[in-house]
Structure 1
C-alpha cells in the first residue's frame, strides 16, 4: 500500500511538472533570460566572498597602502552594482513570468470549465470552482514569481558556497557538511506533511468562500427567516476548521525552520571556534577566515531560505493539483468527429424516439421512460405534469445538456448526437421560469441572445417583449446597471428582459418554462401577446404549470413519472385523460369555466 501511494505521489508530481512546463513553454525566451540573470547574480554574490578576502588581507593588513585599499573597495563596489543590475532583471522577468503563467492558467481553466456538461456541476460547488480559478492561481503566481526564484537562487548559492568552502578550507568544510544530512531529512519529512496540509487548507478556504457566496446571494431570504445568528455560527465553524488546518500547517513549517536554524548555525558556531584557533595559530589568514565565514553563512542562509520556500512550493503543488483536476475533468457532451450539418434554413422539427434517460446520481430511477413524441416544425407543444414528471429533463435533453440513455432525439431528422452542440443550440432560445440576468447593463443582457445584434434590433426586441417602457424609465435606460443577478430589477422586469433576449436570438426552436409566471396581470397579457407573435413560424415547447396558459397550443403532452400518458388538445384531454381532467378541476374555478375554455 505504501509503495503504491508513493508511486501515485510520484506520478502526481510528474503531472504537475509536465503541466507547468507546458504553460512555461511559450515564454522560453523570458525563462532563459531570467535563468541567465539568476546564474549571474549567484556568481557575483559568490565572488563577493573573494572580494571580502582581498579587502581584509590587502586593504586592512599592516602592509596595506591607501591605493590597495581603494582598489579593493572599487572592485567590491563594482560587484555590488553588477549584482543590483542582475537582481533587477531577474526580479522583473521572474515576476512577469509568474503573472503571465497565472493569467494563462486562469484562462485555460475557465475556458474548459464553461464547456463542461451541466452534470459535472451537480457534484461540484460553484464556490470551490471559483476559489480554484482565483485563489489557487494567485497563490501559484506568487510562488512562480517569487518562491521558485528564491529556491533556485539559494540552490545555486548553496552549491557554489560549498565549492568555495572546499577550496578555502577542507577541514572546516567537513564540519559544515556534517549538518547537511541532518537538515535535508527534516525538510523532506516536514515538507511532505506541509504539502498534504496545504491541499487540505485550500479546500477548507474554498468551502468558506462557497458559504459566503451562498449567503450573500440569498441575503433577502436569509434575513427574512432571521437566520443571521445561525448562519454566523455556521460560518464561524467553517472559518475555525480552516484556521485549525492552517495552524497545523504553520506549526509544521515553524518546526522545520527551527530545526534548520539550530542545526546549521550550530555547525557554523563550531566552525568559527576551530577557525578562530587556526587564525591565532597562524595556520590561515584573517581574510581566509572572513571569506570562509561569508560562504558558510551563505550556505546556511541558503538552506534556511530553501526550507522556508519549500512550504510555499508544496502549497503551490497542492494548488496546481486542484487546478489540474479541473483541466482534466472530462466533458461527456462532445461534438462528433465528423458533425452533420443542419439543413439550411433549419426547420425546427423535433422527434423523440423511444427515449429513456436516468441521471448519473440516480441510475436506478429513470427520469424518462420509453417516450416517443413528434413535434412538427412550426407547431407548439405544451408539457404538463406534476413535479418530477420529467418536463425539465426533456428540455435539458433537447439542449443536449445530457445524452439519452437509449433511443434518440432528432432535430430536422438528424440525431442531435451527430450535431455539433453549438450548431444545435444556435437554433434554440430559452426563457426560464426564474429569469437569469448577468452582472452588467440592460443592453448587455438582452444582447446575450445575439452579441452581433445592432442597437436597433436590440430596441425592437425589447419593444416586442413590452420591456421598452420600463427600460426608458431607468436612470440610464439601456445602459442601466442591473446588479448581480438583476437584483436592481423586479421579477417581472427581469422576465421581460429574458424574453427580449430570446426574441433577439430569433430561434427556430423556442423553449418556454412558464415564461409569464413572474408578471402581473397586465404585463402577462402583453407579454403573452408578444410570445404568441414570436411563436408564429417557430417550433415551441412550453413547460406549463398553469393549464390556462396553454389551452391554445397545438398539442398538450401529459407526463407522469417520466412517461407520456396522454396527448392532444385541451378539450380532448378533458375527456380522454382522467389525470389531466383532475388537474384542470383543481385549477379552474368551475365547470362553466372549463366548458368555455374547452370550446375555445
Structure 2
C-alpha cells in the first residue's frame, strides 16, 4: 500500500518486467492504472507492507491440522519479555555478589586467622559489605520489576476475562449466577502464576547450576552430596501433584456451589425471612462450608508436609556437608575455610530449589483456576473475532420470520417457540398477547437478537439477523425486559447508560414522557440521587418509569417492551400511554402486555399459545371477533 503526496492511497497489484507498476487509487473506485517506477517514487510519501498477523482458518485443511493459536494467557504474560530479561540480569549479578560472603569466610579461615592479618580482615569485611549492599539493592529492584510485570499482566488478564464474560452469548452463559461468579473469581488463583515469588523462583533456578560448579571447585567430591539432595527435595513435590490436582478440582467445585448458595440467598433475602427459611439456607451453607473446609484442610496438610520436608532436608544437608567435609579436612583434601564456604554455599544454593518446591505446592491450584478461565474464554461471544459481520447505518425494524424454532436449552422436551412465518413491517405497532409462559418474552428476545433460533431464519431489514453486527442492532433497537435492572450509581448515570451524550434537556423531556419527573424532584439531590443496587428504596412503579426513561433517551427506531406498565398505577399508566403515542411516531413497536390500556398504542395484535401463533390481525378484529371477521395473516 502506497500513501501519495496528495493524500490518496493506492494498492500495488503488480510490477512487470519493464518497470511499470499497476495499482488501484483510492479515488478511482477500484480502477487499475499503470505508472512507471520513477513516477511512483516521485509521488510516493510512504510505503506500507502488510502481512497476516495470524494464520487464517481454512476449512479445506482445518480437519487435518488447525492453524496455530496463541494461548490468550501466555500471550499476555510474556508480552513484557524484555522486562524478564532485566530480571534475569539482576538475578545473575545478585547471585554472583552473593558469593562474596562465601569467599570472605574461606579467606578469613584460610589466610586471616593463621596469619592474624587485621588489615586484610578489614579489607575483606569492607568488600563483603559493599557486595551485600549492592546485592540488597538488586534484589529489591528485582522484586519491584516482578511486581510491576505481575501487576500489568494481572490488569490485562482481568480486562480480557471480564470483557469476554460480558460478551458471552446468552445461551452459552452459566445457568447459575454463583457459578458464573466463581469462574471469574478464578482470577485470584491465576495470579499465583504471575506473582513476584513465582518469577523470582524461576529466575534463581538456573544459578543453582552455577553454584554447583563453584561448590565442586571449592569442595571437590563433596558436590555429590548436593546432587543426591536435590531429588530428595523436588521429587516429593511431583509425587503429590496428582492428589493436589484432585483436591484443587474439588475445592473449585465446592467454592462454586457456595457462591451459588450465597448469591441466591442474598437475592432472595426478604423471601427467606418471610418464609422463615433461614434455618434451611443456613444448614445448606454450613454443610457446604464443612465440605469446603475439609478439602482445604487436606490441601494444607499436603502442602505443609511438603514445606516441612523441604526445610528438614535443607537443615540436614548443612549437617551432612559438614560431616563429609570434616573427613576431607582431616585427610588434607580441603582446608577449613573451604569447608566453611561449602557449608554456607550449600544453604545458599538450595534456596532456589526450596522456592520451586513451594511453587509446586501451589501449582495445581493455579492450574485448575487457569483451566476454569480457559473454559470461560472458549465460550462463543456475540461478535466473534474473525467474523465478517454486515454493517448497517440504520435499522428500522422490518422483521421476517421463516420456519423459526427456538429452545433455551437442548434438553427442553418441546420448543419454546414455533413460528412458521411472521412479518412485522417498518413503523408497525404490534401487541403480543398470551397466557403466562406462552412465549411472549421469548419472542421479544428473538426480535432483539439476544437469543438465536435453533432452526429457521429471522431477517431484519432484509438481512439475516445472525449476520448483522450486534452493535448495529443494539444501536437502533431498545428492549425493556421485565427483569431490567437499575445499577448502583446516580439517577443521571443510570438514565444515560445507553446514551452518554444525552443533554439535561433530553433527560427532562424523557422524564416528562414517562411521568417520572416527579420521582426525581422528590429527591433532595435530584438527578444526582444515588440509587442502591437493584433500585432499593424505589417502588416497582418508580423503577419501571425510570427504566422506561432510560429506553426513551436512546431514541431507538425499534422499541420492544415487555409488560412496560405492569407495576404502574392506572392514572400514571393513562398519562404514560398518551405521551408514548406522540413519541412513538414512525418507530416500530412490539409490546407484550396483559394490560388493556397498552393496546391503545398498537394497531395489530398477535396471540400466542404454547409457543405458537394462534391469532394475528388488526387490533379491533382480534378484540371484537363477533363484529369483524378474523384477519389471520400469519398464524401458525
- For 1:484, the equivalent position in structure 2 comes to 533
CA 1:371–1:333 in 2, change beyond 3 Å: closer, same or farther? farther
Matches for 1:143-542 after TM superposition, within 5 Å: 143-331=193-381, 334=384, 337-342=387-392, 346-362=395-411, 364-542=413-591
232-241 or 352-361: which moved more? 352-361
| Structure 1 contact 196–318 (Cα < 8 Å) conserved | no
- For 1:66, the equivalent position in structure 2 comes to 118
| Structure 1 contact 385–560 (Cα < 8 Å) conserved | yes
Q: Does 1:129 align with 2:180?
A: yes
Q: Could you tell me how far apart the structure 2 residues matched to 1:202 and 1:58 are?
A: 60
Q: Does 1:53 align with 2:102?
A: no
Unpaired runs of at least 5, structure 1: 1-14, 582-600
| Structure 2 contact 106–340 (Cα < 8 Å) conserved | yes
**Corresponding residue SS for 1:567:** strand
300-309 or 287-296: which moved more? 300-309
Computed over aligned residues only, the root mean square deviation of the Cα atoms, in angstroms, reads 2.6
Q: Could you tell me how far apart the structure 2 residues matched to 1:50 and 1:19 are?
A: 46
87-96 or 23-32: which moved more? 23-32
Q: Does 1:42 align with 2:95?
A: yes
**Corresponding residue SS for 1:114:** helix
Question: Cα offset for 1:548?
Answer: 4.9
Question: Cα offset for 1:120?
Answer: 1.3
CA 1:334–1:309 in 2, change beyond 3 Å: closer, same or farther? closer
Unpaired runs of at least 5, structure 2: 1-67, 631-636
Question: Cα offset for 1:142?
Answer: 4.5
Q: Could you tell me how far apart the structure 2 residues matched to 1:103 and 1:203 are?
A: 25
CA 1:437–1:552 in 2, change beyond 3 Å: closer, same or farther? closer
330-339 or 270-279: which moved more? 330-339
**Corresponding residue SS for 2:501:** coil
Q: Could you tell me how far apart the structure 2 residues matched to 1:202 and 1:94 are?
A: 28
More helix by share: 1
| Structure 1 contact 257–308 (Cα < 8 Å) conserved | yes
CA 1:477–1:261 in 2, change beyond 3 Å: closer, same or farther? same
CA 1:129–1:158 in 2, change beyond 3 Å: closer, same or farther? farther
More strand by share: 2
304-313 or 101-110: which moved more? 304-313
Q: Could you tell me how far apart the structure 1 residues matched to 2:70 and 2:96 are?
A: 27
- For 1:589, the equivalent position in structure 2 comes to none
CA 1:292–1:30 in 2, change beyond 3 Å: closer, same or farther? same
Q: Does 1:563 align with 2:615?
A: no
**Corresponding residue SS for 2:573:** helix
Q: Could you tell me how far apart the structure 1 residues matched to 2:187 and 2:341 are?
A: 42
| Structure 2 contact 100–128 (Cα < 8 Å) conserved | no
Deviations 1:145-181 (A, max 9, x none): 2231232244234323322221122322223322333
Deviations 1:320-349 (A, max 9, x none): 22222212222376599444444x654322
Q: Could you tell me how far apart the structure 2 residues matched to 1:144 and 1:435 are?
A: 38
Alignment counterpart, residue 120 of structure 1, candidates 172, 175, 180? 172
CA 1:440–1:405 in 2, change beyond 3 Å: closer, same or farther? same
| Structure 1 contact 495–516 (Cα < 8 Å) conserved | yes
| Structure 1 contact 340–418 (Cα < 8 Å) conserved | yes
Q: Could you tell me how far apart the structure 1 residues matched to 2:138 and 2:478 are?
A: 58
**Corresponding residue SS for 2:396:** coil
CA 1:534–1:551 in 2, change beyond 3 Å: closer, same or farther? closer
- Relative to the length of structure 1, the TM-score reads 0.87
108-117 or 210-219: which moved more? 210-219
Question: Cα offset for 1:471?
Answer: 0.7
- Relative to the length of structure 2, the TM-score reads 0.82
CA 1:526–1:109 in 2, change beyond 3 Å: closer, same or farther? same
Deviations 1:403-456 (A, max 9, x none): 223332222222212311111121111222233111111111111231221222
Q: How many residues align?
A: 560
